[in-house]
Structure 1
Amino acid sequence: MATKTLFNTVVNWFIRQRIDQIENFIKNPIETQKGVLFSQLYHAENTDYGKIHGFSSISDYEDFQRNVPVVTYEDFEPFIEKARRGAPDVFWPGYIRKFAKSSGTTNAKSKFIPISEECLEDCHFKAGKDLLSIYANNHPENTLFLNKNLRLGGSSELYEDFNTKFGDLSAIMIENLPFWVEITTTPSKKVSLMSEWESKLKAIVTEVKNEDVGSITGVPSWMMVLLQRTLKETGHATISELWPNLEVFFHGGISFKPYKEQYRKLIGKDINYYEIYNASEGFFAIQDRHGSDEMLLMLDYGIFYEFIPMDTFHSPNRQAIPLEEVELGKNYALVITTNSGLWRYLIGDTVKFTSLSPFRIRISGRTKHYINAFGEELMIDNVENALAKACDATGATVTDFTGAPVFMKEGESGAHEWIFEFSQNPSDLEQFTDVFDDTLKSLNSDYEAKRYNNMTLKRPVVHVAKPDLFYNWMSSRGKLGGQNKVPRLSNDREYIEPLLELNA
């Protein structure tokens, strides 16, 4: 025990040294970002992509804007395929041997996101250390390294193809973690790398139920499934009975708002919650203040950030802007240039800035995940805030949900149709619907205008889902576990129709 205590003290001291560097980029954000951009350009000027777009002649940001186009995955895919098939110096110096396979939430087609050694070390692993540094700095009394961290990744099977490896980002990271991380985490690498979700879940429960877990890391929805299975297996009433030293949940991937009250009951005591914003393409932001609902944009991970205002996103003349030009409270599509060779890449997420000194953000949605069938421009952050109000008013707890438009026909107004899966049903479903609707009106003037006198939009159509509806639907799509997410909003009825059929 004395050795573990000393180890905890030494590690806490070491990781807190990083705080000085974080404070430096907070004080010098624009200079830090310019340094990142021109370092990347210099590094890649002799690649195929660098020669095509004249990286060596770029001397300022305006040149960068003119020379290098904003791209989607589909635009960039030919270069990625060339690198996957073994060609060096395509968009990043040398060979790219690792690719994170990601289908996202909308496309069935797989994406292969390049993961360079620089990205792995200076972005993803650096961010993991920073998360611990920030937590240790905020909670100097922590005992994080006296106990295990329970990690829950996605489908972790790695594949060999064209002399490169591809798989979930979690698989790539687990394969390349330093030995000391393996000592402090559970489940074992063998179990973490299992691919079939149900078998993996059983194996994880078998391993973790006998560990002393002090922290947990994962996507809230899937972590909840694991914790509930663990309680069922062990017969404990709450997680804190099983793991009395549990002190923090590091979570990301989806909004935590719908799950907050459920976790409080499930764990059985107050713990700390820290949000992270990462993806296969990079690690972008970390909650840096205890109890906050916003995240610090991390500016020295080899990622250069740009932003497209969503009110011009669908315009042929849209322009990305740099960090120094962003405004508070506006929705922006995120554009990234990374140390894996993604150049002005549209990741598909939208963010809002909540602070400009330092630069802090909230994730507001997806560029493809919205409802705008009638000009209402409904984004996920509107929905989550309205949902929180409706739950508070009716004592409800929502597990999962999705929404879609009901299109106009035969002279009738349209509507929005919702399926909500509750772990605690609302005391009055009509009141729940009214509060949800009224809050959306108060948050979104476009929605309010379309709802006026039911002229364009009628009152929302709300369905209560059967237990485990979303779990069974995700299972039927081969999307169980880890990094897979339920699509919350859609501008068509692709997702809601099969869910309604299963719910019948």
Structure 2
Amino acid sequence: MALLGNLIKKGIELNQKLSFDLKSSEKQQEDQLIDLLDKAKDTAFGKFYGFKEILKSNNPVKAYQSTVPIHDYNSIHERWWHQQQSMEDITWPGKPSFFALSSGTTGKSSKRIPITDDFLQSMRDVGTSMIRSLPNYDFPEKLFESEILMLSSSANLSKHDYGHLEGEISGINVSNFPEWYDLFYRPGKEIASISNWDERVARIVKEAPNWNIGAIAGIPSWVLLMLQEVIKGHKLETIHDIWPNLTVYASGGVAFETYRRDFEKICKQPLTIMDTYLASEGFFSYSTNPDSMDMRLALSHGYFYEFIPFDERGVDDFGQLIDDPLTMTIDQVETDQDYVLIISTCAGAWRYMIGDTIKFTSLEPAEIKITGRTKFFLNVVGSQLSEEKMDEAILIVSKDLGITVNEYCVAAMQNEDDDYLHQWIVVSENEIDEKSFTERLDEALKEANKNYGVARSKALQGIRVRAISKDQYHGFLEANKKKGGQVKTPKVMGEERMRAFLDYTS
């Protein structure tokens, strides 16, 4: 086995040396758009918007931007994706075999995102590019002899009346793994197909001693809960007591930093954390550097990106796109500026606003970090709080008070006097003095964002904090059928939903 680990590691190192792209980011992206337009030119969408004429233009990028409008889910689904469920060649050639169900963190009902064969291949290609970066980390050979535990949503997909299969994107990916993945993939398709979250975790706990896990992938909140159950079930001190070769954790879905201290508590040795940006709409970026959580943008994998400044040039005071937003391509962006991400993909998404905001940390190579969701922008009374600023404040308060807070949510509400306040719910395993937490959080938010400080001196009368346990939090998710490996809780809630949460935890 030691020889096998050495051979695999050397093979990846050689592959990395032989795999390089001398094209600029701008050229890679132009080539991607041309390829996407060419493949979809005979679809209903391609004919309607004249893809053949766009391809003849001296500047296909500008022609595309001036011809095709920006879409959100509702606009592209109602006119195009809905038809694609029952008909061929609507926004991409053929008829998708899968649709990803994604309520994400906003909206009351599931969205249906088309998943084409080309799209599944693009996600595998990005995964391959991520593997090529592993030599940068100088991992021990034992890692390449071990198994990877992917905590996905259920791989038990449901069949729709139109004939396609539906499920969350991670479950669709798992169900499409080739048979040879069984050599290293855990928990395996049988366990991954268990729909009930608690039953699936119970099987993982039971089988844990039989596995040699070297890497784990999944959303931090659910991975942490699963690891804690393994430790509890086998009466261990740390997760390394059962999986001594555990070296890597590939995080994704939500920001990792609010979970870091709790992961450190259950580990005997440090984990290398690799961040990923994998959504129902694509696998867009991944970590490549052991000294950073910044992620390399996948520029030649079936995606074309556009970027709208998350300021007065692109959005209004509530984070919604203005009528004619400034739209940039990869060669026009700058570092340390929040952008709304717009994507065009080989699943038939065209100038689609995914709802995330990102920030470039490097231009060559193009590296990013996710800064939040457009709908996680709290600005009812001019506070202008982004998810990034709220995360930053929560980390400061947690450190100052010697506690850990993994999850939180906040809503702008009116009190009995019709004054506005921010209602917070914070989730922790620690006992929290709500008064002290409230005072320190208010201070930290003022320090993080001057607009919040101005709002607090005027229309925003104050904040309230309710601290709840993880059991209460998971109970609320289960009561609302939101319990599982890919569920993400919205950081910013509407007043009605917040009141329901408060009522549940009272």
CA contact (8 A) 1:397 1:425 kept: no
1:438 aligns with 2:443: yes
- 2:250 match: 250
Q: Which amino acid aligns with 2:152?
A: G
CA contact (8 A) 1:469 1:499 kept: no
- 1:210 match: 210
Give CA deviations for 1:261-315 in whole Å, capped at 9, x if unaligned: 0000112321211110110110011111113132111111110000111222232
Give CA deviations for 1:469-497 in whole Å, capped at 9, x if unaligned: 2101110111111111111113x213321
Q: Distance in 2 between matches of 1:92 and 1:488?
A: 34
**The residue matched to 1:495 in structure 2 has which SS?**
helix
CA distance 1:143–1:502, shift in 2 (3 Å): same
CA distance 1:17–1:73, shift in 2 (3 Å): farther
Bigger Cα displacement from structure 2, 186-195 vs 316-325: 316-325
The CA deviation at 1:20 is: 4.7
- 1:266 match: 266
Q: Distance in 2 between matches of 1:369 and 1:503?
A: 22
**The residue matched to 2:249 in structure 1 has which SS?**
strand
The CA deviation at 1:441 is: 1.7
- 2:142 match: 143
Q: With structure 1 as the length reference, what TM-score do the two structures score?
A: 0.93
Q: Which amino acid aligns with 1:344?
A: R
**The residue matched to 1:180 in structure 2 has which SS?**
helix
Q: Which amino acid aligns with 1:421?
A: V
CA contact (8 A) 2:2 2:141 kept: no
CA contact (8 A) 2:118 2:346 kept: yes
Q: Distance in 1 between matches of 2:254 and 2:453?
A: 26
Q: Which amino acid aligns with 1:111?
A: K
CA distance 1:138–1:467, shift in 2 (3 Å): closer
Q: Distance in 1 between matches of 2:230 and 2:28?
A: 45
- 2:497 match: 495
Choose from 321, 325, 337 the match for 2:332. Answer: 325
Identity between Structure 1 and Structure 2 (%): 31
Q: Distance in 2 between matches of 1:409 and 1:321?
A: 45
**The residue matched to 1:464 in structure 2 has which SS?**
strand
The CA deviation at 1:429 is: 4.5
1:357 aligns with 2:364: yes
- 1:169 match: 169
Bigger Cα displacement from structure 2, 16-25 vs 165-174: 16-25
Give CA deviations for 1:32-80 in whole Å, capped at 9, x if unaligned: 1111011111111111100000101112211111111110111111321
Q: Distance in 2 between matches of 1:177 and 1:68?
A: 35
Q: Distance in 2 between matches of 1:333 and 1:449?
A: 25
The CA deviation at 1:342 is: 0.7
Q: Distance in 2 between matches of 1:233 and 1:410?
A: 50
Report matched runs for 1:401-420 at 5 Å. 401-407=408-414, 410=417, 412=419, 414-420=420-426
- 1:127 match: 126
CA contact (8 A) 1:273 1:291 kept: no
**The residue matched to 1:458 in structure 2 has which SS?**
strand
State the superposition RMSD in angstroms. 1.8
Report matched runs for 1:146-161 at 5 Å. 146-161=145-160
Number of corresponding residues: 493
Q: Distance in 1 between matches of 2:397 and 2:194?
A: 39
1:366 aligns with 2:373: yes
- 1:39 match: 35
- 1:15 match: 12
CA contact (8 A) 2:393 2:444 kept: yes
1:425 aligns with 2:428: no
1:384 aligns with 2:391: yes
Q: Which amino acid aligns with 1:497?
A: R
Q: Distance in 1 between matches of 2:148 and 2:484?
A: 18
CA contact (8 A) 1:79 1:90 kept: yes
**The residue matched to 2:376 in structure 1 has which SS?**
coil
Q: Which amino acid aligns with 2:128?
A: K
- 1:30 match: 26
CA contact (8 A) 1:138 1:289 kept: yes
CA contact (8 A) 2:6 2:141 kept: no
- 2:343 match: 336
CA distance 1:44–1:118, shift in 2 (3 Å): same
Bigger Cα displacement from structure 2, 192-201 vs 309-318: 309-318
CA contact (8 A) 2:208 2:242 kept: no
Q: Distance in 1 between matches of 2:418 and 2:241?
A: 58
- 1:394 match: 401
**The residue matched to 1:230 in structure 2 has which SS?**
helix
- Structure 2 unaligned residues grouped into runs of 5+: none
Q: Distance in 2 between matches of 1:201 and 1:184?
A: 19
Give CA deviations for 1:337-373 in whole Å, capped at 9, x if unaligned: 0011111111111111122222211111111122111
The CA deviation at 1:93 is: 1.5
Q: Which amino acid aligns with 1:82?
A: Q
Q: Which amino acid aligns with 2:327?
A: A
The CA deviation at 1:154 is: 1.2
**The residue matched to 2:383 in structure 1 has which SS?**
coil
